[in-house]
């Protein structure tokens, strides 16, 4: 994920792929047995009893039907060894006996990164040394002890102290040969307006943020007295620290996340320390930044499930709303919980202990139900006015979710809870979407969810448009010879799902090559491609039938839209518009009749 020292050419990647037998590689971690032309075994990325982890030797790909994990030899190596892409490439190249040549530019970048890591590590040691110092660290240690942080936790998490003063760190690290400019890039010193530098953190407890290889990449600093501001100060971004791609504590939590099959997502440093100290070792913290897709994708590498601990207030509701579409698009089964009495994990754990916290986690609800419950709690939901307010709050939330099945389920839940007919809610949802699709951040892209949800769609909608689109795409994947014909008969715009559209566009290119497509598309499209490669296909694909199904759905959609417009025109008393729309409806329905007559009805 990080920009690494080695930028590989496509050619070298292909060489590594060609020389690495994915079955051999996977077999070092997973016992595989042959099943048809594929190999199956127990997934190393989630715990299961019946094998859903599948390897396709010819295509060099793996896929898990249980948790949605998938990819090529690089992905497998990265996930099983917790390394970045450049590191995986280097090690796989060595394994395959391939030399990777680096250019002078790459060597320079690599040295720059190394010196930056060294400076960050020196800063972390400096802070740690100060906390341990009997005199200098006394107040900070007393503060941490009073907050319940024990000595073992302090050293495990490499907690430190930035002394009071303007240049303690600057002088100490300069003395060890670190240039001022480098320390500035590391974010531990700040330039003065009139030249020179001063320490970025002063009289603060320091929490180093470590990457997955346990190297410090940034720091968070907390004041010792609550009345001082800002309470928390985080280093700004640097070449090895990107806030949106980092979760505090993941380096310590990842093994527990994998073992327990879930991550617990809390907000702050102190919450995380309390969790780990009391045995909730699968906790990570977001550090108050808005949750990003990259953070969720990162978690997804270790587990398919996450429990978010939110505040029981307005901010918590907004956080849940933001998290829902992001977690869904990353394929995470996300649940949310609030702690009683408005407490945060830190205060709750210290007051009531681990068992009570575990029980609270057991009560976590799926994100959508959680948002709905919060809205219901605010507006009792018995009078029509209250129901309207709930609908107004919850529908925009549903509108951000693009997955058909999830949306349908959410609408059903909302309909049941409020005793409002689903059709009414659906119509209202379309209105919300119309206003959102015009502009603004609500104009979310269509998304795919990996894993179970998608497979259930495939089953449920066996005769539907969704399935038809997927069958056509599978055919294009399997039979390159048919691609040109389908590209001639269909447009990308004919596909309802964004990822379908994107993949169709890529497969329609002459000499489209699956590995190249995988590498150049968004993560949603890549997930889709991998799933379609592995999913079971019908024995016979009726291409014409699938196209007819798509056309039929398009026609129905058009009719629904025209009916809605007639409604509006009638209410507005516009007789001309009503007549025009009626003849349009006639035209569209009769066109459909003809089409139905010429294609076999399935």
Binding site for Zn ion (CB under 5 A): 43, 45-46, 64, 66-67, 69
Q: Which is nearer to Zn ion, 41 or 216 (CB)?
A: 41
For 68, list phi and psi in degrees, rounded to 5: 85, 0
Least distance CB 502 / Zn ion (angstroms): 25
β-sheet bridge partners, residue 309? 337
Least distance CB 425 / Zn ion (angstroms): 35
Q: Which is nearer to Zn ion, 46 or 262 (CB)?
A: 46
Identify the residue whose tokens are 């094998």: 51
Q: Which is nearer to Zn ion, 258 or 317 (CB)?
A: 258
Degrees to nearest 5, angle at CA 523 with 519 and 524: 125
Question: Could you tell me the CA-to-CA distances from 457 to 53, 134, 463, 545 in Å, in that order?
Answer: 20, 63, 11, 19
Identify the residue whose tokens are 């104009």: 443
Q: Which is nearer to Zn ion, 43 or 401 (CB)?
A: 43
Least distance CB 76 / Zn ion (angstroms): 12
Least distance CB 46 / Zn ion (angstroms): 4
From CA 450, how far away is CA 66, in angstroms rounded? 10
Least distance CB 302 / Zn ion (angstroms): 11
Counting runs of H as helices and runs of E as strands, what totals does the chain give? 26, 16
Least distance CB 71 / Zn ion (angstroms): 12
Least distance CB 305 / Zn ion (angstroms): 12
Q: Which is nearer to Zn ion, 79 or 168 (CB)?
A: 79
From CA 402, how far away is CA 497, in angstroms rounded? 9
Least distance CB 65 / Zn ion (angstroms): 8
At 307 the three-state DSSP class reads strand
The bridge status of strand 204-210 relative to strand 160-162 is antiparallel
Q: Which is nearer to Zn ion, 66 or 187 (CB)?
A: 66
Q: Which is nearer to Zn ion, 221 or 331 (CB)?
A: 331
Question: Could you tell me the CA-to-CA distances from 257 to 43, 85, 216, 252 in Å, in that order?
Answer: 15, 21, 21, 10
- Could you give the count of Cα atoms lying within 13 Å of 543 in the half-sphere of its Cβ? 13
**Burial grade of 539 (CB within 10 A; 0-12, 13-18, 19 or more):** exposed
Query: For 243, which DSSP code?
Result: G
Identify the helix (H) or strand (E) that includes residue 504: helix 498-508
The 3 state secondary structure assigned to 116-169 is HHHHHHHHHHHHHHHHHCCCCCHHHHHHHHHCCCCHHHHHHCCCEEECCCCCHH
Least distance CB 42 / Zn ion (angstroms): 9
Q: Which is nearer to Zn ion, 44 or 239 (CB)?
A: 44
Q: Which is nearer to Zn ion, 455 or 516 (CB)?
A: 455
């Amino acid at each position: 994920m990080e920009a690494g020292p080695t930028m590989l050419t496509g050619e070298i990647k292909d060489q590594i792929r060609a020389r690495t037998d994915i079955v051999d590689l996977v077999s070092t971690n997973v016992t595989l047995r042959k099943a048809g032309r594929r190999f199956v075994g127990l997934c190393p990325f989630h715990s299961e009893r019946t094998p859903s982890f599948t390897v396709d030797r010819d295509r060099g790909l793996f896929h898990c039907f249980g948790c949605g994990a998938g990819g090529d030899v690089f992905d497998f190596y990265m996930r099983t060894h917790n390394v970045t892409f450049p590191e995986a490439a280097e090690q796989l190249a060595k394994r395959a006996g391939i030399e990777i040549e680096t250019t002078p530019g790459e060597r320079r970048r690599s040295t720059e990164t190394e010196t930056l890591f060294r400076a960050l590590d020196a800063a972390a040691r400096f802070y740690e040394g100060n906390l341990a110092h009997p005199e200098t660290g006394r107040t900070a240690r007393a503060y941490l002890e009073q907050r319940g942080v024990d000595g073992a936790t302090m050293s495990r998490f490499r907690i430190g102290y930035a002394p009071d003063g303007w240049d303690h760190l600057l002088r100490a690290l300069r003395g060890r040969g670190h240039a001022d400019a480098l320390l500035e890039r590391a974010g531990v010193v700040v330039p003065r307006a009139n030249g020179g530098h001063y320490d970025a953190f002063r009289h603060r407890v320091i929490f180093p943020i470590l990457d997955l290889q346990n190297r410090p990449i940034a720091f968070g600093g907390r004041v010792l007295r609550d009345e001082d501001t800002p309470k928390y100060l985080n280093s700004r971004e640097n070449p090895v620290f990107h806030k949106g791609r980092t979760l505090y504590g993941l380096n310590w939590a990842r093994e527990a996340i994998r073992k327990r099959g879930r991550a617990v997502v809390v907000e702050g440093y102190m919450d995380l320390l309390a969790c780990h100290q009391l045995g909730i070792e699968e906790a990570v913290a977001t550090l108050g930044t808005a949750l990003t897709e990259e953070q969720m994708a990162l978690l997804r590498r270790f587990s398919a499930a996450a429990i978010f601990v939110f505040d029981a207030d307005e901010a918590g509701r907004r956080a849940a709303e933001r998290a829902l579409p992001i977690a869904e698009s990353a394929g995470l089964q996300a649940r949310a919980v609030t702690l009683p009495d408005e407490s945060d994990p830190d205060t709750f754990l210290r007051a009531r202990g681990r068992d009570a916290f575990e029980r609270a986690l057991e009560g976590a609800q799926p994100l959508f139900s959680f948002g709905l419950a919060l809205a219901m709690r605010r507006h009792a939901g018995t009078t029509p006015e209250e129901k309207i307010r709930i609908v107004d709050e919850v529908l925009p939330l549903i509108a951000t979710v693009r997955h058909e099945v999830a949306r349908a389920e959410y609408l059903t839940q909302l309909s049941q809870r409020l005793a409002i007919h689903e059709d009414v809610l659906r119509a209202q949802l379309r209105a919300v979407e119309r206003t959102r699709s015009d502009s603004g951040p609500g104009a979310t892209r269509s998304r795919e969810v990996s894993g179970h949800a998608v497979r259930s769609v495939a089953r449920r909608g066996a005769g539907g448009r969704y399935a038809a689109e997927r069958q056509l795409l599978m055919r294009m994947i399997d039979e390159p010879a048919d691609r040109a014909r389908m590209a001639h008969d269909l447009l990308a715009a004919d596909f309802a799902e964004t990822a379908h559209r994107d993949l169709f566009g890529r497969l329609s290119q002459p000499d489209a090559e699956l590995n190249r497509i995988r590498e150049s598309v968004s993560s949603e499209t890549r997930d889709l491609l991998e799933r379609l490669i592995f999913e079971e296909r019908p024995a016979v694909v009726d291409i014409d039938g699938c196209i007819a199904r798509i056309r039929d759905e398009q026609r129905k959609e058009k009719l629904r839209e025209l009916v809605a417009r007639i409604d509006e025109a009638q209410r507005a008393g516009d007789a001309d518009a009503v007549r025009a729309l009626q003849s349009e409806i006639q035209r569209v329905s009769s066109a459909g009749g003809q089409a139905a007559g010429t294609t076999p009805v399935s």
